[in-house]
Amino acid sequence: MFTTLRFVAIICFVLSGSIAFAAPNLQVNNPKFDFGEVFQGEKVLHVFEFVNEGDETLQIDRVKSSCGCTAVLVSEKSIPPGGKGELQANFDSARFRNAVSKTIYLYSNDPVRPVMQFHIKGTVLETIAIEPTQINFGGVVAEKTVTSTVVLRNQGKLPLTLGKPHATAAELVIKMSETSFASGAEVTLELQLTPKPGQTRFSGYVLVPVEGVPKNELRIPVYATINN
């Protein structure tokens, strides 16, 4: 009788232990995606796949992403044991340049890993490279004209057309060498600043309309300190 009760107790203990440890288990083969190089304004789309390797249903609570990247669950929120899920990430490169890295957070009822991180990284190339990106004339004399140049380079694959450049201040005059902008070509801007007397600092922008780039306009800051 004692042996039988002991055997039953052991069976109950094993069963209760199995029930207690039954849980979902979210697993991802590759939580990182490198999109390489894209031109500014291009969009990157990638689908991450994950699997529930546990013995309970995996419940997806929500998805959160860092700035500049959006994510949406394209599968069901309830993933049965052995089932697969998909998370679609969308990255808009319009406001970025150079190396970027974005993180997506997936929240679930996995007791070991309640927050799974997915990572997207790559390099955003500017369609038009601006050298230098801003002009600082330093100290200048009022009513005396100073000159500087800016070089624009078309790094994209398609030709572009530049509109007439203009400045946000009358003291700044811009001359442009070309309006047709083939792939790989360069266009030079000549900036002439004639500071007004009575001011101590100059601050303005050179604006160049162009189709095929984010916001359809290039903005080049210009600064100077005026000595009267």
Instruction: Report the pLDDT value the prediction gives residue 18, as an integer from 0 to 100.
Output: 45
- In this structure, are residues 162 and 178 in contact, taking their beta carbons and an 8 Å threshold? yes
Q: What are the tens digits of pLDDT across the range 9-55?
A: 455 544 544 445 789 999 999 999 999 999 888 899 999 999 999 99
Sheet architecture: strand order including 58-65: 32-39, 115-125, 98-108, 58-65, 78-79
Instruction: Report the pLDDT value the prediction gives residue 8, as an integer from 0 to 100.
Output: 47
Tell me the two tokens of residue 15: 């069963």
Least confident of 14-18, 152-156, 178-182, 189-193: 14-18
Give CA–CA dist 122/151, Å, rounded: 26
What is the pLDDT confidence band of residue 2, given thresholds at 50, 70 and 90? Answer: very low
Q: What are the tens digits of pLDDT across the range 196-218?
A: 998 899 999 999 999 878 778 89
Helix (H) or strand (E) holding 16: helix 2-21
Amino acid at 48: F
Q: What value does the CA radius of gyration of the chain take, rounded to a whole number of Å? A: 30
The set of residues, in sequence order, having a beta carbon less than 8 Å from that of 78 and lying 6+ positions away, is: 57, 58, 59, 60
Which of 115, 118, 141, 128 lies closest to 225, judged by CA? 141
Instruction: Report the pLDDT value the prediction gives residue 177, as an integer from 0 to 100.
Output: 85
Percent of the chain residues past pLDDT 70, beyond the cut: 91
Which of 56, 68, 86 lies closest to 122, judged by CA? 68
pTM of the complete model: 0.70
Domains recognised in the chain with CATH numbers? 24-125 (2.60.40.10), 128-227 (2.60.40.10)
